[in-house]
Structure 1
Amino acid sequence: MAEQSVKTELMQRLDEKKDRMFGIRRYLHAHPELSFKEDKTAKYIQDFYQGKDCVIRTNVGGNGIVVTVDSGKPGKTIGIRADFDALPITEETNLPFASQNPGVMHACGHDGHTAYMMILGETLIEMKDKLEGKVVILHQHAEEVPLGGAVSMIADGALDGVDNVFGIHVMSEMETGKIFYRPGNVQTGCSYFKITINGVGGHGSSPHKTKDAIVAASHFVVALQTIVSRALSPFDVGSITIGNFDGKGSSNVIKDKVILEGDVRSISDEAQETIEREIRAKLNGISTMFGVTYDLDYKNDCPVLYNDPETTEFGIKVLNNTDIPELTGVEMCEPQPPSEDFAYYAKERPSMFFYVGATPENGKAYPHHNPKFDIDEKSLMISAKAMGSIVVDYLIGK
């Protein structure tokens, strides 16, 4: 079949560029930039594509870059996405290419995503006469903070004309050599809230003249614990975390104000809505019970990431039917607890987001966002070949 010979050529070309791919990853790792401040990284990506036979859009929704590879033939349009921001973490890996920017680190693998995508993009440009339709490469900034780069890029037309979107995340705690996937809801949605409990302060010797904000806030924190256990279906999943309880004061002063900040995670839209409704209801109850008022800032930062079953089935069929030498298995995984702003693309177009195992060769796998985080660079070649195979079969497969 035509797509098989094209995939074989694609993989041969990728193999020839392995050292360049790893070199790009190491350069990016040494020069990380925080979300919405990735100016030099964006310029680096832009310069890479300059002079190549493609259309480049820069400053898409901020620092985003959209590269369109047009075969010149009619057909579908596939979007493929990689993110490129880093985190406010001080690196502790002792790698020879460790971060040169104090307090900033690629601790999530976005350097690897960008490196494989750049080399894959270059190769697809070189081979575009063998394709049909278009490839839209989404180099996305600011994935790590809400509302991230996906929202602004979509608003700026990044998905115009795109039929489906595919994305990859390398995973340090998943076995290198394997690809993992799951149809349906695959990563949690997240919400943020900030609550100010307003009471009436006073002297500790006269509590009857006060409305104690600390007591009211404490009861609220305890009441929150019943939402997941009593308001959610036992077949649904959610979590609520109070990460900040700011009630510092003097031992003999009853506080007039307490600030709480929290995080909500859920694996369904219904759970996300239920948790928000219950938080508001419990605040109203606490307000009545203790005679306090409250101010609530509640933000749904990221929706649940939904893998379209038909699109996912297509992607897995391609991977199972393609000979990728480095790939040892394709397995279904459990839903993943972190949130991911690829979910916004998946809300706009039928999409598939999957995972490439990247446990370091020495077997010491640190979790994402850890100062010692690292990946096995073999995962980059697997990512490039897997995504490249999906692109080829999507555009010319029958």
Structure 2
Amino acid sequence: MDINKRVEEIFDELVHIRRDFHMNPELSQQEFRTQKKIQDYLNEWGIENYVCAETGVVGLIKGKSPGKTIGIRADIDALPINEKGDHSYCSLNEGVMHACGHDAHTTILLGIAKVMKEMADSEDSINGNVKLLFQPAEETIGGAQRMVKEGCMQNPTVDYVLGLHVMAYIEAGTVELKYGKLNASTDSIKITLKGTSAHGAYPDKGIDAITMAGSVITSLQTIVSRNISPLNSVVISLGRISGGVKDNVIADEVNITGTLRALDDDTRNYAKQRIRDIVTNTASAYGGQGVVNFHDGYQALINNDEVVDVVKENAERLLGKKNVVFKEFPSLGAEDFSYFSDVAKGAFFHLGCGNKERGITSLIHTDTFDIDEECLKTGVRLQIENVLSLLRQS
């Protein structure tokens, strides 16, 4: 099969699919229409599929001969953003928008599914299997983890997994790759500082939790500046603080919440321990008590070099070396594709969807985000080539 020709032939259909999803966005854990549309397409094309993680879908394309199994992931949920724009395919759901490009990711995976099913049914067929991972709730609770727990990477076992994300700061027709560390882990921090209340006129009779909080906040900044190498990116951001009941009463409790982001588990665990030590010991020095609770978020996303090599080779051949760029520094943003790549060798890359000449430059998570739909063709073509290359891996 001439893959380039076939992708060109189905491009109008892909645009229709993407615009339909864009007009009908659904929030995390509410992706029921999106799920039904995905299953309708897979059923129409004769692709085995089943529901996973309540609102997700897993599809399976089997080759005529045994071999490896390659997983491809697309997230499907939207964001609580009110879209601003005048194009014909603006969101019809007020306050909900595909502002992170998941409509494009879903469409690309459906395009891959359509073409690869045709290949699997042809005389030449393929050796092995392709697993289609339509993942819900990327923007909130981490649907990838739920899908993995429900067995999406088993029966058959996924050997390699691929994912992508559209980015408008990159021109359509270009991809951005990175070896190794790509995205950070995320943990929520909750700090509770307890003192003793007293009248504001007699502060010596109490233990001031606000004073305690001031020292804790200042000291926590030294973890990044003095305890961890400046060559190792870590973020400790405190976003909210609350405490006290009245202007002339010494506060007996202060609560502080924030986020911790790191690029590997060793640094992540070390930073957690330092936060606990500083909070506990600082509070104790003031005569109070300090308690820290962490809520674990996404794992750090670390690409497998072997799989990145495959993507690089295919991208340079299809797009030209000048259209394959490498990301210099990892992002401290989160990406729950890491749950898939913790189970199988994986690579995640960025697909250019911008077009400066047409004014398509808005970043993800903004109310004017859009894509140059030519990126759909690039995504489908490249991922198919990646799958075929990985199926041939010894």
By how many angstroms is 1:396 displaced? Answer: 4.7
1:1-398 correspondence to structure 2 within 5 Å: 6=1, 9-58=2-51, 60-128=52-120, 129=122, 130-146=125-141, 148-160=142-154, 161-247=157-243, 249-321=245-317, 323-324=318-319, 329-334=323-328, 335-361=330-356, 362-396=358-392
Contact 2:27-2:80 within 8 A present in 1 as well: yes
Counterpart of 1:62, as a letter, is E
By how many angstroms is 1:360 displaced? Answer: 3.6
Contact 2:360-2:372 within 8 A present in 1 as well: no
Root-mean-square deviation over aligned CA pairs: 1.8
Q: Give CA deviations for 1:107-144 in whole Å, capped at 9, x if unaligned.
A: 11111100111122111112213221100010000111
Q: Single out whichever of 49-58 and 155-164 deviates more from structure 2.
A: 49-58
Separation (CA, whole Å) in 1 of partners of 2:253 and 2:264? 34
Q: Give CA deviations for 1:191-244 in whole Å, capped at 9, x if unaligned.
A: 111122222223211212222121111211111111111111122111111111
Separation (CA, whole Å) in 2 of partners of 1:51 and 1:357? 30
Q: Give CA deviations for 1:273-298 in whole Å, capped at 9, x if unaligned.
A: 12111111111112211222233320
Contact 1:62-1:152 within 8 A present in 2 as well: no
Contact 1:240-1:264 within 8 A present in 2 as well: yes
Separation (CA, whole Å) in 2 of partners of 1:312 and 1:293? 48
> For 1:230, what is the secondary structure of its paired residue?
helix
Counterpart of 1:346, as a letter, is S
Aligned length: 387
Q: Single out whichever of 327-336 and 285-294 deviates more from structure 2.
A: 327-336
Compared CA separation, residues 248 and 209, structure 1 to 2 (3 A)? closer
Contact 1:62-1:153 within 8 A present in 2 as well: no
Separation (CA, whole Å) in 2 of partners of 1:24 and 1:261? 41
Separation (CA, whole Å) in 2 of partners of 1:49 and 1:192? 38
By how many angstroms is 1:185 displaced? Answer: 0.8
> For 1:75, what is the secondary structure of its paired residue?
strand
Contact 1:31-1:99 within 8 A present in 2 as well: yes
Contact 2:244-2:252 within 8 A present in 1 as well: no
By how many angstroms is 1:397 displaced? Answer: 7.4
Separation (CA, whole Å) in 2 of partners of 1:388 and 1:87? 28
> For 1:348, what is the secondary structure of its paired residue?
coil
> For 1:383, what is the secondary structure of its paired residue?
helix
Contact 1:31-1:101 within 8 A present in 2 as well: yes
Contact 2:108-2:376 within 8 A present in 1 as well: yes
> For 2:389, what is the secondary structure of its paired residue?
helix
Aligned to 1:3: none
By how many angstroms is 1:88 displaced? Answer: 1.6
Q: Give CA deviations for 1:12-31 in whole Å, capped at 9, x if unaligned.
A: 11111111111211111121
By how many angstroms is 1:319 displaced? Answer: 2.2
> For 2:162, what is the secondary structure of its paired residue?
strand
TM-score relative to the length of structure 1: 0.92
Contact 1:82-1:110 within 8 A present in 2 as well: yes
Q: Single out whichever of 93-102 and 121-130 deviates more from structure 2.
A: 93-102
By how many angstroms is 1:162 displaced? Answer: 0.7
Deviating beyond 3 angstroms after TM superposition, the runs of 4 or more aligned structure 1 residues are none
> For 1:244, what is the secondary structure of its paired residue?
strand
Separation (CA, whole Å) in 1 of partners of 2:354 and 2:36? 30
Compared CA separation, residues 94 and 208, structure 1 to 2 (3 A)? farther
TM-score relative to the length of structure 2: 0.93
> For 2:83, what is the secondary structure of its paired residue?
coil
> For 1:259, what is the secondary structure of its paired residue?
strand
By how many angstroms is 1:180 displaced? Answer: 0.9
Counterpart of 2:194, as a letter, is N
Unaligned runs of 5+ in 1: 1-5
Separation (CA, whole Å) in 1 of partners of 2:105 and 2:44? 22
Separation (CA, whole Å) in 1 of partners of 2:250 and 2:374? 59
Counterpart of 1:343, as a letter, is S
By how many angstroms is 1:94 displaced? Answer: 3.5
By how many angstroms is 1:309 displaced? Answer: 0.9
